[in-house]
Structure formats: structure tokens, C-alpha cells
Structure 1
Amino acid sequence: MQNRRNLLKASAVLAGGAVSGFPFIARAQSARILRFSHTDTSVGAAHDAATRFAEAVEKYTSGRCKVQVFHSGQLANDAKSLDQLQLGGLDFALTGVVTFTPHVKDLSLIALPYLAENYEQGWKLYDTSKFIKQQADLLPAKGMRIIGNWEAGFRSFTTNFPLNSPADAKGRKLRIAPVEMIRWIMESIGFSPVVMPVTEVYLAIQQNTVSGQENPIDTIFSQRFYEVAKHVTLSQHVYSPRWLAMAERTFKGLSPADQEGVLKAAKEAGDWNRREVRANDDRLLAEMTAKGATIAKPDLALWRKASEGAYERARKEFGAAAVDQMLGEAAEIRKSMS
């Protein structure tokens, strides 16, 4: 009888549970640790939203999952973070939607210039576009799943020279993300684009390897690019939100209840992030101005005209049907919300 009791005790310990009649045997519960990577610094709406997401995941999974957030590219740059999702080195990655284009080529079309004129139009585009959904639905087969529409904003320039018009861009080296569409836009404007990870850009501008870069205001502020490229030109040439991606193997490894909790947390943190980025633009520009940056709000018609070469190159590369679908959906939203 005693041997049987001992076996029950051992079984309870191995199973991590308690056996009726043995209240002193506590259930051993260990949370699943999930790793979240992004390349923004710890100052800014991206990291704040990631922290909120981590807190919400723990809450909605009743502590079964805990998220560790790593900022400033500590674990990987933007492109490599997606590789790590596929390989199992990461569980979550927050990065610009344009970063996914090497994995789904037609996603390049979301970087067509001037698809949206304001945040509300951009949000509706990403929440309702059939074209964008078709491309996102291809990602689980490549090892990653989009679980949230988050925000970065409209891409603009920071340069170490005055950028009064597209004519001033001719021949200047400008850092870009590894996205064909962005390259075509920059070449159409007159820049000489240089691809490099965002984590290397500050030093590259400081050493005059490049003369500037293009990113949304929140990223310009959090990465402090305005310190080394003091001329901020609000061209707003591409609406450039972020996606929160999750490793498909991690998602599939969670219970349905925990999957639901993670998705709920991603939606809540993403909605907060959208509102925060939109509300912060003027404040961040004012703070950059106070620290020595010069903010220029140019006539956007000049920049739209200068970017037009990207449309023709896109039609040749991706086909007129895909380009026209993306442009048509965006135009319909602009019209309905104007």
C-alpha cells in the first residue's frame, strides 16, 4: 500500500499536478517564454505598444505565456527577424510591411507612392484591402503569420543637406530598406539609393557614407536620425505601417484559448499603437525642432510628380492587373473618405 502511495506521489510530481489526498503536492506550472523582437529603441510608440502587448498576453493566457521584448535590434535586424521567425529563433517580430516583400513579392505594391493621404485612409486600406489580404494569407506557408496591423506612419526624408525640391536629390546617396518599390521611387526622384539595415543608418550618415534616409516620423525620432541629418522633409511619399508577425510553429503550438488570447492582445496593442503614432507626429516634430532639426513641409504635388516613374516600373515587373487592383482599392478609399 505504501509503495502505491509513493508511486502516486511520484506520478503527481512528474505530471506537474496534485493528487487528491496529497494537498502538499503543488501543481508545477511554468510559463511558456516567447521572444519578441523589434528594431526601434526603447523610446517610442513601437516599444511602448510591444510592452503593452506583452502584458496583455500574460493576462489573456492566465500566465501560461509570457513575452520578452527585445528592442533596438538586439536579436536581429528587420530582415533577419523574419528569417528567425521561420527558423524558430523568434516568436514575434514587429517590422514594416515592406520588410515582408522578399517573402511575398507582390507585397511590394503596398509601397506604391501616395496610396493614402492620411492615417484614417491608410487604416481602412490595410483593414479592408482584398489585395493586401491575399498577400498576407501566403505568409503562414512561409513560416510566419500576421496577427496585427500596427503603425509606423508616412515615410519622409531626413538629410544632411536642404531638400527643397526633388531637384536637390539628384545623385545624392540615400539609405533605403531592401524593397524594390522604395528603390524605384527614390530613383524616379533622382536619389542614388543604398540598401542597409536600419540599425546601421545613424553611423552611416554620421560618417557621410550616405546623405540621409527615409522613414516615418516615429522611427526618425526613436532612431534619432535628426541628430545627424537635421533636415526633415515631410514628403509623405509612402504610407508605411507595421505588421506584427508571429512564428507559425509557435502559433500552432498554442492551445485555441491561448491563440485567441494572443490575437486579442495584438489587436488591442495595435489599436493603441495606431492612435499613439497619429497623435504623436506633431509633438515629435516639435521636439526634434527644439533639438536643432529643421522641418520642411513641401508642396506634395512636386513629389507626387517626381515619383510617377515607379508606377510604370511596377506595371512592367508585377503586371498591370495587380498594380491597377492596388491603385483602384486605394483610390476608392480616398474618394469615399475625402
Structure 2
Amino acid sequence: MTMRGFRFMAATAIAVAFALPAAAQTVLRFSHTDQQHGARQEAAELFAKKVEELTQGRYKVQVFCCSQLGNDPKNIEQLGFGGIDFTVSGTGSYAPHLPTLNVTALPYLVDNFAQGQAFYDRSKWLQAQFAKAPAKGFRFLATWEAGFRDMTTKTPLASPADAKGMKLRTFPNEMMRWVLEAMGFNIQIMPLPEVYLAIQQGVVQGQENPIDTIASNKFYEVAPYITLTQHVYSPIPLAISERTWQKLSPADRKAVTEAAQIAAAYSRKVVQANEEKLLADMQAHGAKVSRPPLAPFRAAVQPVYAKAREKYGADVDAALADAEAIRKQVK
């Protein structure tokens, strides 16, 4: 072979090598129900970025916000058969698959963010419930923050007396229904994307959600009375489809878990830090924020504990014991 021929073949080989496609990147789908400008979306985007970084680009997470792929129950159902790879939702939304998780929606279980986060991280009872998830088709990676649930209504809500007969939207969760009915509300279940219009048209007179969700969905525009009842602490565990998990190598499982924990730390910091700012912003747009005495609300929901014990037995006392221990340790 002549030198000229050798150079031609070498040049051709180099050109072909550069033309070969890179190793295929696996795209994973992450679906959630909050709006594009909420803290949930911010944390999801950070999670996606970290997954791609920590897996050296082998995996790319595509985030679908705003219920594009389904509401919370549908998203969790899709995890089971691998229709999506990740979702993040309130613990109570997972309860149809793990009924004892309803216990996490007991009213006034913790008093502040630090106690709530410690409960989700350290409660032996709760970790035992989370450990049952893989058998249901998904597993929990980390607990992101959403905050305490508060009320947004069309008329003032100074005490449970004002709740009597008021139609209030909530999500499909047994414990939440018990709590709100004990306060006096008539409960309406409906998907989150339908709530704004339902309030606007008078189908319901209000709804309850954490402050970040209230702000991102602009519920204060149609139900301007924001009442800080803080009746249930409502963080949002991030879950991965068990089918997806089983396909990951040990190194990629570690990377995905680390990304989830990084995003969880971010979520907790941002949601807690932003709450007062969001309240001020909503007030600037016409919302009326009130901080009523909580004693009447706490008294109204006392029957819920007995009702929960009737159905969930020792799980209730185990959860309450862990919460009480944490309240003593974390102020």
C-alpha cells in the first residue's frame, strides 16, 4: 500500500469514528401536577440536571409538569406498570396503595417544619411503611417539601364555626376527609387542575393546600381569604417506578438516589424560606391573610384520632409516639 493510500484509509477511519453516534441516552419521564413556576418544578428540574450529571449523561430526565401525563392518582398508578419513571406527590396520594400512609395525615401531628422533616427522616414507623412500597410497584427515594396545608376560601374563616356547610375541595384521601368534615366542611373531591374554575363558578367555596401550591395555582384570585390553619403537614415523597429501579446498575441507583436527596435539600430550603414571601406577594395582589387561634381547630378535629385508631389500630399510636418523641427533641 502506498503512503498516500494509507493516509486516505486513516483519514476515512477517523471520519467514520467521528460520525458514529454516541452511546444511546436513556430518557426517563417525571410527571407531577404542580405548575411550571412552583417550587416542585424547580426541584424536579434540579433533580433532572443532577441525574444527567451523576450518570455521566447515560440518563436524561424529562419533566412533565401541570398534570400533562395525569393527576396524582394516575401518576402513581403509572409508576406500577412503568408508564412513567418518577413522580412526586403528597404522602396521602400514595395511601390507596399503602393504606397505613393515611396516618401521616393525622391533624396537627407536628408543629413546625423542623419537626415535620425530622419525622419523615427519622420515624421508625414511617420508614417501615415506606419499605413496603417496592412490592406495590414503586419505591421512595427522598422526601421533598411542600409545607403545611392551609385554607383558601371566598369568605372569611375565623374558626370552625365559619366552616359549617361550606363546600371545600380536597384531594381523594380518607384521613383528610375526616379532618375537614370534623371542622364542619362539606367535602368535594376533584383533580387539582379543575379547582380554580370550580371556585370561580361557585361549585366549591374554597380549597386547602400548602402555600406554595396555593400561590403557583393562583387560588387566591378566586378565593382571596387565606387562613393559616396548618391542619396537616404535607411533604411530597419522590418515588421511582420499581421497574425502572430494577433496570438501573448499582452505580446508577446510587446516582439517582443522590440526585433525589440533593433536590430534597433544595426543596426543603426553598419552600420554607419562600413561605412568607409568597404570602406577602399574594397580599399585594389582593389576598387577605389571617392567622386565627388554632385551639378551636385543634379541638374540632379531636374525634379524628379515635376514628383513625378504629381503622388503623396500633399504627396510629406508633406514629403518634414517634411524633411526640421528635417534638421533645426538635423545637
TM-score, length of structure 2 as denominator length: 0.94
Partner of 1:273 in structure 2? 267
For the aligned residues, what is the CA RMSD? 1.2
**What are the ranges of 5 or more consecutive residues in structure 2 without an aligned counterpart?**
1-11
In the aligned structure 2, how far is the partner of 1:260 from the partner of 1:144? 16
Q: 1:327 aligns with which of 309, 320, 325?
A: 320
Aligned residue number for residue 52 of structure 2 = 58
> Residues 61-109 of structure 1: CA distance to partner in whole angstroms, max 9, x if unpaired?
0000000001111111111000111122100001111100100111000
Match of 1:238 among 229, 232, 235: 232
Give runs of aligned pairs for residues 169-318 of structure 1, distance below 5 A. Answer: 169-318=163-312
User: Which whole-Å CA distance do the structure 1 matches of 2:105 and 2:23 have between them?
Assistant: 45
Amino acid at match of 1:324: D
- Counterpart check, 1:131 vs 2:128: no
SS in 1 for 2:111: coil
Aligned residue number for residue 105 of structure 2: 111
Partner of 1:94: 88
Instruction: Say which SS state the counterpart of residue 78 (structure 2) adopts.
Output: helix
Hey, what's the Cα distance between the residues in 2 that align with 1:136 and 1:197?
25
Cα distance in 1 for residues equivalent to 2:124 and 2:251: 28
Structure 1: give runs of 5+ residues left out of the alignment. Answer: 1-20
* CA–CA distance in structure 1, aligned partners of residues 128 and 250 of structure 2: 24
For residues 217 and 27 of structure 1, the distance between their equivalents in structure 2, rounded to whole angstroms, comes to: 46
After the TM superposition, which parts of structure 1 deviate over 6 Å for at least 4 consecutive aligned residues? none
Contact map agreement 2:212 2:278 (CA 8 A) in 1: yes
Q: Find the residue that maps to 1:315 and give its secondary structure.
A: helix
Alpha-carbon distance in 1 for matches of 2:258, 2:115: 23
Q: Secondary structure at the match of 1:331?
A: helix
Shift of 1:28: 3.3
Query: Using the alignment, how far apart are the partners of 2:219 and 2:261 within structure 1?
Result: 29
Determine the C-alpha separation between the residues in 1 that align with 2:22 and 2:275: 47
Deviation digits for residues 222-276 of structure 1, max 9, x if unmatched? 1111111100000000000001110000011011111111111000011000000
Q: Out of 158, 170, 184, which is 2:152 matched to? A: 158
Tell me if structure 1 keeps the 8 A contact 2:81–2:243.
no
Measured after TM superposition, the shift of residue 301 of structure 1 is 1.2
Assess if the C-alpha contact under 8 Å between 2:167 and 2:188 holds in 1: yes
- 1:142 equivalent in structure 2: 136
The amino acid across from 1:335 in the alignment is K
Partner residue in 1 for 2:67? 73
SS at match of 1:238: coil
Per-residue deviation, 1:27: 6.0
Say yes or no: does 1:120 pair with 2:148. no
1:188-216 C-alpha deviation (Å, 9 max, x unpaired): 11111111111211111111111111110
Q: SS where residue 232 of structure 2 aligns?
A: strand
Whole-angstrom distance in 1 between the partners of 2:330 and 2:138: 33
Q: Give the whole-Å Cα distance in 2 for the aligned partners of 1:197 and 1:129.
A: 30
* Sequence identity (%): 51
Verify: 1:85 aligned to 2:72, yes or no.
no
Q: Which residue of 2 aligns with 1:15?
A: none
**Aligned AA for 2:330?**
M
Task: Quote the residue 1:18 is aligned against.
Answer: none
Distance 2:98 2:214 in 1: 26
State how far apart, in whole Å, the 2-side matches of 1:205 and 1:102 are. Answer: 27
**Counterpart for residue 31 of structure 1:** 25
Hey, what does 1:5 align to over in structure 2? none
Superposed CA deviations along residues 20-72 of structure 1, whole A, max 9, x for unmatched, are x9553346311100000111111121101100110000000000000000111
For the residue of structure 1 that corresponds to 2:139, the secondary structure is: strand
What SS does the corresponding residue of 1:52 show, helix, strand or coil? helix
Counterpart of 1:250, as a letter, is T
